[in-house]
Structure 1
Amino acid sequence: MADREHDPFEAAALRERVLRAWAESPARFREDANAEEDHALGGYRDRVIVELAQNAADAAAAAGVPGRLRLALRDGVLLAANTGAPLDAAGVAALSSLRASAKRGDAAAAGRFGVGFAAVVAVSDEPAIGTRSGTGVGWSARRTRELAAGLPSLAGELDHRGFHVPVLRLPFALPDPPRPGELGAEFETVVRLPLRDPAAADLVRRQLAETGPALLLALPALARVDVELDGAVRTLEAEPDAPSGTVVIDGVRWRTVEAHGEIPAELLADRPTEERARPYWRLRWALPDVPGRAAAVLHAPTPSDEPLDLPALLIASFPLAPDRRHVAPGPLTGFLVERAAEAYVELLRAVPPEPGLLDLVPGPVAAGELDARIRRAVLDRLPGVPLLPIAAPDGTSALFRGPDTVAVDAPAAAVDLLAGSVLPGLLPAGWPVRHPALAALGVRRLELADLVDALAGLERPPGWWHRLYEALAGARTDALGALPVPLADGRLVRGPRGLLVGTEGVDPADHDALGLRFVHPQAAHPLLARLGAVPAGPRAVLADPAVRAAVTGSYDAEEPEPIAHAVLDLVAAAGLDPGELPWLAELALPGDDGELYPAGELLLPDSPLRPVMGDDSPFGVVAADLVERHGADALVAAGVLRGFALVREHEVSVADLTDGAFDLDGGEEWAEDVLARLPGQDVPPLLPEFTAVRDLELVADWPAALALLAVPPVRAAVVEPAGVLTAGGRRAPVPSYTAWWLAREPVLAGRRPAELRFAAARELAGLYDVAPGGLDPEFLRALGVRASAAELLAEPGGAAELLARLADPDRTVSRDRLRELWTALTDRPPGADPLRPPERVRAVVDGAPEVVAAADALVLDRPDLLPLLAGQPLVLAAYDRSEELADALDLQLASDEVPGEVVSRGVERPVPPVVRAVLPDAPGTYVAHDPLVVDGVTAGWRAVGGTVHASGAEGLARGLAWVTGRWPDRLLVAAVLRDPGALPDLLAEADLDL
């Protein structure tokens, strides 16, 4: 009894048994040494604190009390005090055996097989345990080495191992054990570990610093852990009043799910004997309410090196490899992967069905093989689990499986409106529809455009659609193009573009005859305008294609009258200008004879155009009741004629006009004339604005018609040129169609305007008759009445017309006008039509103009040949234009036809010095003749090769002026030669010429 009291843990008896076993079998010593070394240096090295906590948790569980543990590092010694069942002899035997455990058969115990305590030898050679009763047991590397050395059979083993011995195999009763009360009165047991060296101290210090909530979650029997380090105490405590299924540690709430059971025997076939003796599995998922608090490794149940990158902490009894760091492969691991996946799904089911749930769904990227297997197993199960809250038509909510659910990428208000009967299974607003977890759950995602398609056949009152548009007001418009819209006539159409939204004062019911697509007033919303619906003011309604179609088909409509009234009401409300919408001229309206006419073929009753048109014109007179009901202005804007009708179009290609567009008399010829004015155009030019007066060919009374054409608004179509835009971007003015047509018709006193001239155009006198009065000059000019030779020659064909009139013997031209016209022909603007050689020309014969054959005429290019050309038809132009004119008209130059040989003999004389006051460049001498004979004809002067032959002062003056290029000064030189003393006065007079 006394021995029992002195050695309550029976350490001596256990020590003796071990020593006998070593003495009898050195192999047993070797096995013990290897096993302890594996524990100390292998996977348990980093788990000293955890293994001590496991023992504390087991003690608390055995006693049925909340476990408390205090860890303290003091002066190189680690102390671990715990509450719960005290250490007994069976426990000491288990701690010392490295193979047996006093917890055999307890599925809830955390420690297994007695090997956990072996971790302490990684940091201490003298571990000891003391109890509140004052008893204690210890282990000592030094004392074990001394006892082992006394066994002869171990001499070789000790020498081989450098005297390394298994410390924990031999327990020793302690006369002065450590006392738990030093760390707190409530503690039952204390472990004292004198740390071997600074490296061991650093290892323990690090493990103490890393101790966190995972320790309490892995060991539920522990309610509190105090960590004392460097004089500071840190407490981890699980709140005792936490709701079921949750653990609160340091203010962080952990939602937990646990599962356990018995392992099927076939899964343990490849596992060690001690594991087969305890065929139980257990796992726990712990999800913190603060993201990122879960350790990113598997706890089995202590931390392993298996990465697990899920948002929850997994503590599970996975089988470990011999290194105690990684999960061992095999069927048992596969079995536990499935159980872990089932428990994780249950954890998700316990989480409130809110959007944050999606962050708990595992993603496809795993941190390791085990992580990947658990993720796959979870993801395989999730589509079949009802996790998502769906609103029912009655307003209640229930959880649905992912495949039975649809997520819509739409604003929240729209989702709320569509939930229930419109889109069954619709995920509530606020759930992130593009979250990848939804795909993992099997949720069908509906894009906004797909949602719009899904609504196509939906029957709802107009007010509901208005609410939908309001809900979608902030959505992307590119996905809403096919949005259904209810119309005022009861139809539901796809797409708001082109629909009409009634504005104030526009009643859709007033326009039923036009077949317009008006949005139902109760559904109208600004979103529709953003999507292409048109606010239905009168102009917008008129721009609707349905109105144009109704106008075009009105002549053949069963009831054209309602169409006419509806269109005319819109025209009046819009305040259209005449011709602004040319197609309105096709509107069928009744005439005063009861027949239907296109509006463009009707005249107002008081139209001044009625007496102007011929009896065979197709025009009718609009019915008087239409004028009374809608007003003359609305009818004129719709195409009924008050005066001449105008054709107005924008962006018209000249090529279209050459094909007969707009049904204008002579329109093709006008277009060809335009192209002739703009040669070298690879691309047909464009008319940005085209305006023309039509029906001119129907006029019978031209004086009255011109009076109408000379006043606005049709006047502009005559007097304003058409601006043609070429492919190179140049804008070129050309005569308008109306002016072009009038210029070629006998509209002025039975004559074409192009055959007449203004009275002021005197250079054209005799060639053109003077136009009659009564019309303003600008209007007449636009008609083509000739204003000058220069303008005539600038026109295409103008030069040919002038040559033809000059060759007409019935026309008269004075000699001075004739010279001006020949000179003008050579001064035509650049790019003008080239001259065609005429068969007959108007020349001067012995001083009088006369029409002669072109082959008989000479162009006078030298004035000294005039005495030699008596009776010869001469074309006289400015002396410096003669060669150019001869080339252009294919005429002969006089100098090419007349030899001009000087046959008389003369005397060389000096040029009088007084001449140089006028001609500084005059030659020094000349040849004086008395008389001068050229080609047998007496002449006044002749210049040959720069030498002047002259007879008398007049001849000398002309010869000197010619050779110096100062021909206009010939008369001044002659005066100076006649009276040298008059030179100052003559020069002064010449200055006045400037």
Structure 2
Amino acid sequence: MFDTRRLRETVLAAWTASPARFREDANAEEDFALGGYRDRLVVELAQNAADAALRAGVPGRLRLSLRDGVLLAANTGAPLDEAGVEGLSTLRVSGKRDEAGAAGRFGVGFAAVVSVCDEPSIVSRETGGVRWSRAETNALVGARPELAGELAGRDGHVPLLRLPFPVETSETPEAAETVAVPEGFDTLVRLPLRDDAAEQAVRRMLEEAGPALPLAMPALETVEIEIDGHARTISTDGWRIATESGAFTPEQVAELFAGRPTEERARPYWEVRWAVNPEVRTPRVVHAPTPSDEPLDLPALLIATFPLTTDRRHVAPGPLTDFLVGRAAEAYVRLLQDLPATPALLGLVPGMMGKGELDAAIRREIVRLLPDTPLLPSVSGVLPGNQARAVAGSQEFLDKIADMVPGLLPAGWASRNPALTTLGVRRVELADVVDMLSGDAVQDKDPSWWRSFYAVLPADDLEAIGAVPVPLADGRLVRGPRGTLVLSAALSGALDGAQDSGLDPGARPPLDPALLGPLGLRIVHPDAVHPLLLRLGAAEATPRTVLEDPLTHAAVTESLDSADPEPVSQAVLALVDAAGLTAGEAPWLSELALRGADGELYAAGDLLLEGGSLAGLIDQDVPFGVAAADLVEKYGSHVLAAAGVLDGFAVVNDSDVLLDLSECDHDLDLEDEWIEAVLDLLPEFDVPPVAREFTAVRDLEYVADWTSALGLLSRPPLRAALRPLRVLVAGETVEVPSYTSWWLSRHPVLDGRLPTTLRLASGDPLLFGLYGDAPVGIDESALKMIGVRSSLEELLASHGGPEELLDQLADSSAEVDRAQLRSLWTALAGVDPSRVSPPDAVRAVLKGAIVVAEAEEGPVVVEAPDLLPLVEDRPLVLAPFDLAEALSEVLDLPLVGEVVTGAVTSSGVERPVPPEVRSLLPSTPLSYVEHDDLLVDGRPVPWRFFEGKVHASGVEGLARGLAWASGQWGDRLAVAALLRDPGRVPLLLAEADLDPVTALG
């Protein structure tokens, strides 16, 4: 049994002698219980259990049981002794200060029981027990008059743990059972919980207890927790742990413990422990060694003997903390070294941003050490991060490049995880790896190695690998598949056997693939062929793709300048044959050098097929040769025609043609002029227009027999070249004349005459006399496409049509009658003036005769009939008066009213209009001015409508004046008859009644 009486009397005596001491003890216990240790009960019980096991040198075992409102803590290890009782019953006096490795350091941890219990007790199997009681302590304190004032001032609150009492175990069997230490344990702490709130707090602490307990206290091998009969065991299985510890030298104590409490100086030991288990999440706080409020946002548990502030919640700054930060960083790095070198390791690499000052300090020190620490696997062993390289890709791919990239990490290490940067790993992008594939490193790799390399090369980013080397069949190694050719089965077959050219397949020997050699093509070595090359821009080497290759184009262009063009010609003609090209499909082939019948070299486009349809049409003096007979025999006329040799008319076919003088060049006669003419027809644009499909007939300038030529051009397939060209411009599609129809329209191809000077036999009668008759026997729709005129409406709607008509009218040799002329002026009045340039001469009427009047002869447009007598000596443009103003603008000629004054210069007498006139002219004026001799501008005239008044001399003048003023000019003759014989009014009215309904009103 312990001498608890002595301890009680000593404390009571001290309190009695100094009531302030009583208050100090009460306040200190309350501060610890309700402040720094309010939620540390489970941790402090585990700490005491760990220290007991450490003192006894036995495996630590702790069982925490909560049942019926009582918490029992049974542990193995050294039993409670006198020093322990004294330590538990005092504040800030630990009995463990000389014990290296002990968790308890401050002598206040047991105060945590005060927050939940008023009757705690501790019993050891060998030495007995001790208890504390708030009620009994209160009674003893209340019996001391000296303390009555203090007790009253605290509302009866007394320190619980200062006065120990003996545990009586022999009073009853029940009492003995209550304090009995369970079998297998050495000591039992019994805590009857104060109330439901205390029980709920304890239950929460037990449920939250985890591996941090045994990890922070290595002396505890297991912690068993039982709540209402449900048990679980906490252990350190599956945890990776790294521990560093040591003792301070006297010099270090003097330096590092400056300003620290004396009790801490008596424990010159340090320890740092890290623990990690990816499957378990632990509280992100520093343990010192019990949990503090110091945040640590690393995926690992840190337990270290950091100095704490007086509230036991935070690490105290200073040299000792700085020392332990360094040791913690070193231990953490060693922990990482002990872990398996897998990409999961990256999850343990800290970033620079910490949750607090201590967290940030530890991180900075770890990050400083990591780049030089061997952590990462490579083919050459474990490397520090600053010597490692990460490349994205499969392991098979990395194995291929391992000897080219030193320090290469295995697959799975090339993520975008910022931890790689922290470790100092250099990330090598795929494009950089591709750049390394050069020189001696790959020069000795055979084509099959390259094929296996393409099979594992990451292909998510084609741009990054676009420059990957490619071995060619001729032994070269080139950069990038773009521009290379992969032999296809179709081409191999074409080159391995005779092609169907209309000849006997046995007429010429099978073609050797080596035939393509003179073209300088970049053909991929067959052993290196892989589908990836096609994705990266290699072209499948069909006959057509080989022909379209820029190197083939270059070979064709340079063939005429070559000393021996025959190999190139043979290769190209074989490909044309294999591709099945038709004449005009590849116009650039016309530059291919071929032999003529005279033995000279010609461009294919300068050769004719003997007996071909074109040979009979062209001028015999033009510089064309005739294809050599052996070429025709070997390849056939259709192959030579497809290569540009002229059989019939050569046709140029193209697509997406940019109509720009600097871009469009098909070697066509007057092509630039055609482009300029087309651009004049199009609306304004910012981007040059594009012809989606372009078809044109070549060599028109050499034709001599146009009668036969037009027969060919007006029939399919050449007829397609005459159809309008559809051009995309400014977001809309516009039809313009094709090159072929434009060229034909500007040359005398119809019996020596321009198509635009002729009209169809079935054309508009209004064009008779102005245009000649087009030849018969040629399709009329084809004639229209090359410019032969068909109708006045189409002529005026065409570009330049109105000006063309004016030019025809100004031709004095053209025959035009008066009715035809009036209809032509009527049609021209409807033309937008902006489309017409003022003519130098016009067709007009002079004193009844139709003449051609030059502009300086003063022709005028007549807008009113009463002005005619004033300009009878001038050429007159006569059309319906309501169109006069519009026609004046189109022709840029003055109206009569713009060249004469038209003022009435004689005097007359105002007379009433005869009432019978109103029967014909309901809106006639009420009066008119009668003149004996009407003068206008001093000249005698029969009538004038001037300033709202009708002036007239004689019946004819009055009839015209009244009809004009009433807006019924067509009734002027009827009015004249009425004025001469008023008795005829009934008859005239009856005749009017017989007019058709459409004529009324």
* Distance in 1 between residues matched to 2:997 and 2:91, nearest whole Å: 141
- SS class of match (1:703): helix
Residues 354-411 of structure 1 show CA distances to partners (whole Å, capped at 9, x for unaligned) of 222222222323233333333333333333333323346xxxxx4332223222233x
Structure 2 residue 287 is matched with structure 1 residue 285: no
**In 2 relative to 1, CA 943–37 (structure 1 residues): closer, same or farther, beyond 3 Å?**
closer
Structure 2 residue 646 is matched with structure 1 residue 641: yes
Give the structure 2 partner of residue 53 of structure 1: 46
**In 2 relative to 1, CA 732–289 (structure 1 residues): closer, same or farther, beyond 3 Å?**
closer
Partner letter of residue 485 of structure 1? V
Give the structure 2 partner of residue 395 of structure 1: none
- SS class of match (2:623): coil
- SS class of match (2:306): coil
Structure 2 residue 578 is matched with structure 1 residue 539: no
Give the structure 2 partner of residue 265 of structure 1: 250
Measured after TM superposition, the shift of residue 323 of structure 1 is 3.3
Query: Over the residues paired in the alignment, what is the CA RMSD in angstroms?
Result: 5.4
**In 2 relative to 1, CA 922–759 (structure 1 residues): closer, same or farther, beyond 3 Å?**
farther
* Distance in 2 between residues matched to 1:14 and 1:193, nearest whole Å: 22
Contact 1:405-1:427 at 8 Å conserved across structures: yes
Residues 241-287 of structure 1 show CA distances to partners (whole Å, capped at 9, x for unaligned) of xxxxxx33xxxx32333343322222323355554444333343332
Partner letter of residue 53 of structure 1? A
Residues 678-715 of structure 1 show CA distances to partners (whole Å, capped at 9, x for unaligned) of 79889987666555444333333333433343333433
Give the structure 2 partner of residue 352 of structure 1: 340
Give the structure 1 partner of residue 752 of structure 2: 750
**In 2 relative to 1, CA 190–656 (structure 1 residues): closer, same or farther, beyond 3 Å?**
closer
Matches within 5 A, 1:713-732: 713-717=717-721, 719-722=722-725, 729=732, 731=734
* Distance in 1 between residues matched to 2:368 and 2:999, nearest whole Å: 113
* Distance in 1 between residues matched to 2:319 and 2:926, nearest whole Å: 134
Structure 2 residue 385 is matched with structure 1 residue 402: yes
Contact 1:433-1:445 at 8 Å conserved across structures: no
Which among 309, 332, 337 is matched to residue 297 of structure 2?
309
Contact 1:796-1:833 at 8 Å conserved across structures: no
Give the structure 1 partner of residue 508 of structure 2: none
Structure 2 residue 359 is matched with structure 1 residue 371: yes
Contact 1:415-1:428 at 8 Å conserved across structures: no
Measured after TM superposition, the shift of residue 798 of structure 1 is 6.1
Structure 2 residue 636 is matched with structure 1 residue 631: yes
Deviates more, 1:69-78 or 1:449-458: 69-78
- Stretches of structure 1 that go unaligned for 5 or more consecutive residues are 1-6, 239-246, 393-397
Measured after TM superposition, the shift of residue 531 of structure 1 is 3.6
Residues 411-437 of structure 1 show CA distances to partners (whole Å, capped at 9, x for unaligned) of x36645446434343322234622222
Measured after TM superposition, the shift of residue 556 of structure 1 is 1.8
Residues 340-365 of structure 1 show CA distances to partners (whole Å, capped at 9, x for unaligned) of 33332333233222222222222323
- SS class of match (1:606): coil
Contact 1:132-1:179 at 8 Å conserved across structures: no
**In 2 relative to 1, CA 160–583 (structure 1 residues): closer, same or farther, beyond 3 Å?**
same
Contact 1:514-1:547 at 8 Å conserved across structures: yes
- SS class of match (2:661): helix
Contact 1:943-1:963 at 8 Å conserved across structures: no
Matches within 5 A, 1:546-585: 546-585=551-590
* Distance in 1 between residues matched to 2:929 and 2:33, nearest whole Å: 143
**In 2 relative to 1, CA 549–441 (structure 1 residues): closer, same or farther, beyond 3 Å?**
same
Deviates more, 1:306-315 or 1:34-43: 34-43
**In 2 relative to 1, CA 199–797 (structure 1 residues): closer, same or farther, beyond 3 Å?**
closer
* Distance in 1 between residues matched to 2:741 and 2:960, nearest whole Å: 51
Structure 2 residue 702 is matched with structure 1 residue 698: yes
Matches within 5 A, 1:860-879: none
* Distance in 2 between residues matched to 1:113 and 1:861, nearest whole Å: 124
Which among 770, 774, 777 is matched to residue 780 of structure 2?
777
Percent identical pairs in the alignment equals: 53
Partner letter of residue 622 of structure 1? A
* Distance in 1 between residues matched to 2:908 and 2:357, nearest whole Å: 130
**In 2 relative to 1, CA 511–165 (structure 1 residues): closer, same or farther, beyond 3 Å?**
same
Residues 281-313 of structure 1 show CA distances to partners (whole Å, capped at 9, x for unaligned) of 334333234231x23233333333333333222
- Stretches of structure 2 that go unaligned for 5 or more consecutive residues are 493-512
**In 2 relative to 1, CA 173–637 (structure 1 residues): closer, same or farther, beyond 3 Å?**
same
**In 2 relative to 1, CA 637–173 (structure 1 residues): closer, same or farther, beyond 3 Å?**
same
* Distance in 2 between residues matched to 1:19 and 1:925, nearest whole Å: 147
Give the structure 2 partner of residue 343 of structure 1: 331
Matches within 5 A, 1:317-466: 317-391=305-379, 398-410=381-393, 412=394, 415-418=397-400, 420-431=402-413, 433-456=415-438, 459=442, 460-466=445-451
**In 2 relative to 1, CA 154–555 (structure 1 residues): closer, same or farther, beyond 3 Å?**
same
Measured after TM superposition, the shift of residue 758 of structure 1 is 4.2
- SS class of match (1:553): helix
Give the structure 1 partner of residue 217 of structure 2: 219
**In 2 relative to 1, CA 861–537 (structure 1 residues): closer, same or farther, beyond 3 Å?**
same
Measured after TM superposition, the shift of residue 617 of structure 1 is 1.0
**In 2 relative to 1, CA 948–214 (structure 1 residues): closer, same or farther, beyond 3 Å?**
same
Partner letter of residue 233 of structure 2? L
Give the structure 2 partner of residue 491 of structure 1: 476
Give the structure 2 partner of residue 836 of structure 1: 839
* Distance in 2 between residues matched to 1:158 and 1:821, nearest whole Å: 131
Contact 1:355-1:432 at 8 Å conserved across structures: no
**In 2 relative to 1, CA 498–980 (structure 1 residues): closer, same or farther, beyond 3 Å?**
farther
TM-score, L = length of structure 2: 0.78
* Distance in 2 between residues matched to 1:693 and 1:667, nearest whole Å: 12
Give the structure 2 partner of residue 505 of structure 1: 490
Measured after TM superposition, the shift of residue 600 of structure 1 is 1.8
Which among 211, 228, 233 is matched to residue 236 of structure 1?
233
* Distance in 2 between residues matched to 1:675 and 1:796, nearest whole Å: 12
Structure 2 residue 96 is matched with structure 1 residue 130: no
Partner letter of residue 403 of structure 1? N
Matches within 5 A, 1:573-612: 573-612=578-617
* Distance in 2 between residues matched to 1:807 and 1:125, nearest whole Å: 130
Partner letter of residue 189 of structure 1? T
Residues 699-755 of structure 1 show CA distances to partners (whole Å, capped at 9, x for unaligned) of 3333343334333343343x434556665857364x444444444444333344444
Deviates more, 1:798-807 or 1:361-370: 798-807
Measured after TM superposition, the shift of residue 489 of structure 1 is 3.4
**In 2 relative to 1, CA 646–975 (structure 1 residues): closer, same or farther, beyond 3 Å?**
farther
TM-score, L = length of structure 1: 0.79
Measured after TM superposition, the shift of residue 866 of structure 1 is 9.8
Measured after TM superposition, the shift of residue 203 of structure 1 is 6.0
Structure 2 residue 465 is matched with structure 1 residue 477: no
* Distance in 1 between residues matched to 2:348 and 2:460, nearest whole Å: 29
* Distance in 1 between residues matched to 2:908 and 2:203, nearest whole Å: 143
Measured after TM superposition, the shift of residue 642 of structure 1 is 1.9
Which among 185, 192, 196 is matched to residue 183 of structure 2?
185
**In 2 relative to 1, CA 371–910 (structure 1 residues): closer, same or farther, beyond 3 Å?**
closer
Deviates more, 1:618-627 or 1:753-762: 753-762
Partner letter of residue 747 of structure 1? V
Structure 2 residue 621 is matched with structure 1 residue 616: yes
- SS class of match (1:304): strand
Structure 2 residue 71 is matched with structure 1 residue 86: no
* Distance in 2 between residues matched to 1:538 and 1:783, nearest whole Å: 38
* Distance in 2 between residues matched to 1:879 and 1:235, nearest whole Å: 116
Partner letter of residue 385 of structure 1? T
Contact 1:843-1:857 at 8 Å conserved across structures: no
Which among 685, 691, 716 is matched to residue 712 of structure 1?
716
Aligned length: 954
Measured after TM superposition, the shift of residue 123 of structure 1 is 6.0
Contact 1:208-1:227 at 8 Å conserved across structures: yes
